[in-house]
Amino acid sequence: MSFFLKNKGNPKISTSKEKTYGPGRKGDGEAGKRQSKLSKRLNEEISSDSENESDQVVKKQRKDGDEEIEETAQEKKLRLAKLYLDQLREEEEKKAEEDDFESDLIAGRLQDDVLEQRGKLQRLIGKELVPPEASEIQLLRGHKLPVTCLVITPDDKHIFSAAKDCSIIKWEVETGRKVHKVPGGRKGTEDRHVGHTAHVLCMAISSDGKYLATGDMNNLIMIWEAATCKHLYEFTGHRGPVSGLAFRRGTHDLYSASHDRSIKVWNADENAYVETLFGHQDAITGLDCMSRERCVTAGGRDRTVRVWKIAEESQLVFHGHESSIDCIQLINEEHMVTGGDDGSVAVWTVNKKKPLTTVKMAHGKRGEPGLEQPCWVSSVAAMVNSDTVASGASGSHNSKVQLWKCGQGYRGLEPLFSIPLVGFVNSLKFANSGKFLVAGVGQEHRLGRWWRLKEAKNGLYIIPLKRKDPEVPTATDAAEEVEQEER
C-alpha cells in the first residue's frame, strides 16, 4: 500500500504553502477576512482612545451668555486639575489654622510647665470664688474620736481620713458613703491586729493613687493599697511619733518626719529604707513635697522652716514665726504657707530667709477679756500653682476655715471669705480640680489634749468652691484691672 496519495482537486484540502504564500491562492480569501476584521477592531479602539484624549470636542456654555465655546479634553483636564488644586489649597489653609490653634495651646501648656518647674506659676483663681451656702456644706461622720488627717485621691472621687480612734475610712465624695473602713485596734494587740493601735497623726497618697501611707504615735508607718485598703507592709525606724508624710510626685519615694527630729526617705515599690536627714532642734510637726527631690518641714518649737535638698544632703533654714510652727504646705515648687500657735499665717519663698508676708491674729482671739490669746492656726492648705490658700483655727467656739488670696508674686494676703466651724480644724485639703475643700474637724487638737470642745463634731466637712459668673464684673475686679493697667 502506498504511503503517498495524490491530491485530486479536492477544494477542502490545501497545503500549508497555499495558506501562506502569494496572493491569488485559495487561502487568501479567509486570511483577508480575518485581517479585515482585526483592522476594523483596531481602528475602533484607536478611534475611541482618540475621542477620550485628544480628538473629543466638548461644547461648553459660558455663564454670562449663550455663546458656546469648544473645549478639548486636554483643556478640560487642565480646568479640573486647577479646581482640584484650589480645593487642596483651601483644605491646607484650614488645616494650618487648626494647627496654629493647637500650636498655641501646646505652647501655652509648655509655658505653664516651665513656670511650674520654676515655681513661678500663679493661676489667679481667688477673685472668682464665692462663699457657699451653709446648706451646701456636707458633713461626713464615722470616726468616734477627733479626725487628725485626710487626703484626697488624685481623681477627686474618694477621701481617706484617719483619727485618734486609730481607724482609717475611705469615703466616696459624690454620695458621702463609706467605701471601706480599717478599724483601729487596742494597745497590746499589735501582733494580731491588722492596722493601727495608736493615734494616726498623718497620711499621704501617691500621685498615681496606688499607695496610701499612714503614720502613728507608735513610730510606725504603714503602707496600704489605696484601691482595696489592703495592708502591704510597715516601715520601722523612727524613734518618735510619725507626724508628717508626703510622696514625691511622679514617684513612689516617701518622705517622713517625726518627733525624733529626723527626716527619713523610703521607697514604697521596693519596701526599702533609703536614708535619714537631721537638722531640726525640736519635734517636727509637718512635712510636704512636690515633684523636685526636696521636701519642706515645720520645726515646731524650734520655730524654723527647713527646705531639705535630698540629693545634695543639705538644708536651708528660715525664721519668721514667734512661736511653734504647727503646719506647712507647698503652694508651688518655690513658695509655701505656714501656720502656728502664735495665730499667724505666713507665705514664704525658698529664695528669702524671711516670710514674704505675714498675717498676725489671722483668726482672731480667744479667751476671757484681759486673758485673750491668738487662736491657734492648726492647719493650712494651698490650691497648687494658684493664688488661693486656706487656714484653719482651733480651740474656740467661733473657729473657722479662712480662705485667702495671695497678692502679685505672693506678696500680701487678702481675706476672701470664711466658713464657720466648731472645733479643732486639724487638717485641710483642696481637691486637685479646685472644686471643693475638705476640712477634718475634731473635739481635740491632733497633737495633744490641752482642752476639749464637747459641742464639736468629729467628722469631715466637704466645702464646695463655687465661682462667680465671669460675665458680671464687680467693683473689685474693675479696681484690680485698673491697678494692673497702671503697673
Strands (E), 211-349: 211-216, 221-225, 230-235, 242-247, 253-258, 262-267, 272-278, 286-289, 294-298, 304-309, 314-319, 325-330, 335-340, 345-349
The pLDDT score that the predictor gives to residue 188 is 83
* Cβ–Cβ under 8 Å, residues 324 and 340: yes
Give dist(CA 346, CA 361) in Å, integer.
11
Q: How many helices (H) and strands (E) does the chain have?
A: 4, 34
The pLDDT score that the predictor gives to residue 47 is 46
Query: Per residue of the chain (487 residues), what is the pLDDT tens digit?
Result: 444 444 444 444 444 434 334 444 444 455 455 555 545 554 554 444 444 444 444 444 444 444 555 678 888 888 888 888 888 888 888 877 776 666 655 655 555 566 555 556 678 898 999 999 999 999 999 999 999 999 999 999 999 999 999 999 999 999 999 999 999 998 888 888 999 999 999 999 999 999 999 999 999 999 999 999 999 999 999 999 999 999 999 999 999 999 999 999 999 999 999 999 999 999 999 999 999 999 999 999 999 999 999 999 899 999 999 999 999 999 999 999 999 999 999 999 999 999 999 999 999 888 777 778 888 899 999 999 999 999 998 766 668 899 999 998 899 999 999 999 989 999 999 999 999 999 999 999 888 888 888 889 999 999 999 988 755 444 444 445 444 444 4
> 305: closest CA among 335, 260, 275, 266?
335
Instruction: Look up residue 468 and give its three cell numbers.
Output: 462667680
The H or E element that residue 34 is part of is helix 28-50
In the block, residue with C-alpha cell 449663550: 66
* Cβ–Cβ under 8 Å, residues 213 and 200: no
The pLDDT score that the predictor gives to residue 370 is 75
Q: How many CA atoms lie within 13 A of 329 on its CB side?
A: 24
CATH number for 380: 2.130.10.10
Instruction: Look up residue 199 and give its three cell numbers.
Output: 493615734
Does residue 22 sit within a domain?
no
Does residue 18 sit within a domain?
no
Does residue 17 sit within a domain?
no
> 332: closest CA among 106, 115, 108?
115
Beta bridge partners of 123: 386
Does residue 267 sit within a domain?
yes
| Total domains, the chain | 1
Q: Find the domain containing 434 and state its range.
A: 136-469
Cβ count within 10 A of residue 234: 10
Give dist(CA 346, CA 142) in Å, integer.
33
Does residue 38 sit within a domain?
no
* Cβ–Cβ under 8 Å, residues 264 and 279: no
Does residue 26 sit within a domain?
no
Does residue 46 sit within a domain?
no
Instruction: Look up residue 173 and give its three cell numbers.
Output: 465624695
> 381: closest CA among 89, 57, 151, 147?
151
Does residue 116 sit within a domain?
no
CA angle 25, 27, 28 (to 5 degrees): 70
Burial of 116 (0-12, 13-18, 19+ CB in 10 A): middle
| DSSP SS3 for 129 | strand
Q: How far, CA to CA in Å, does 112 sit from each of 117, 159, 295, 464, 484?
A: 9, 28, 22, 26, 21
